Amino acid sequence: MPFASIAVEELLLVLKIAFVVLLYLFIWRIVRTASKDLRMPQESFILAPSQAQDMAVVRDSGPRDVGRLVVVRSPTLEPGEGRMLDSAPLTVGRGPQNDIALDGDDYASAKHARIEPRRDGVWVEDIGSTNGTYLNGIKLTRARKLTPGDVVRVGETELRYET
C-alpha cells in the first residue's frame, strides 16, 4: 500500500508542476501580445488646440450646399425633380427608410446606394445592391468621387449630379 500512495503523490506533484508551467505560458502569451499592441503606432484621440479650433469651425458651420441630384429618368420620380445635397449622406433605394425612395423601381434594392458629401467632394458607393450601381454606365466596384454632370444609375433611375 505505501507504494500506491507514493505513486499518487508523485502523480499529483507532476500535475501541479504541469499546471504551473501552463499558467506561466499563458501569462507569457498575454504579455507578449500586449507588448506587440503597445509597439504598434496608435492614433491619438487628443487634439492639439489648433486642431480643436479647426474641428469647432467645421462643426459649427452647419449644413452646407454641395450640389444637387436631378432626376434624368425614373419609373417613380418626375424627370427634372431635384434633391439638394448638404453635409449629410443620402441613401437611395426601394425601401421607405431611404432619403430618396424608389418604391416603384423593381430593379432597385431596398438599400441600394449611398451618396456622401465629404471634405474632398461628393462620393457615391454601392451598399450591397443586387443589380449594382452604375456611374456613367460603368458598374461601381468601390466608392467613386462625383464630378458635375456625372450620371448615377440605381435600378432604372438615373440621377445627374450638378453643382
As a whole number, the mean pLDDT across the chain is: 85
Does residue 120 register a pLDDT over 50? yes
Which CA distances in Å does 161 have to 10, 40, 122, 153? 81, 42, 9, 11
List the one residue out of 159, 155, 109 whose CA is nearest residue 136.
159
Q: Where are the strands (E) in 47-150, listed by range?
A: 67-73, 82-85, 90-93, 100-101, 113-118, 121-126, 133-135, 138-139, 144-145
Question: DSSP of 2-20, one letter per residue?
Answer: HHHHHHHHHHHHHHHHHHH
The CA-CA-CA angle for residues 98, 119, 112, to 5°, reads 25
Across residues 152-162, what is the average pLDDT?
A: 95
**Cα separation values, 118 from 71, 76, 101, Å:** 22, 28, 22
Percent of the chain having pLDDT more than 90?
61
pTM of the model: 0.60
Contact 93, 106 (CB under 8 A): no
Q: Which residue has the higher pLDDT, 63 or 41?
A: 41
What does the pLDDT look like over 62-109, one tens digit per residue? Answer: 555 678 999 999 999 999 998 899 888 999 999 999 999 998 899 999
Helix, strand, or coil (residue 151): strand
Radius of gyration of the chain (CA): 30
- In one letter, which amino acid is 1? M
For 30, phi then psi, to 5°, come to -65, -45
In whole angstroms, what is the distance from residue 32 CA to residue 40 CA?
13
Phi, psi of 158 (to 5 degrees): -115, 130
CB 47 within 8 A of CB 55: yes
Looking at residue 41, what is its pLDDT? 60
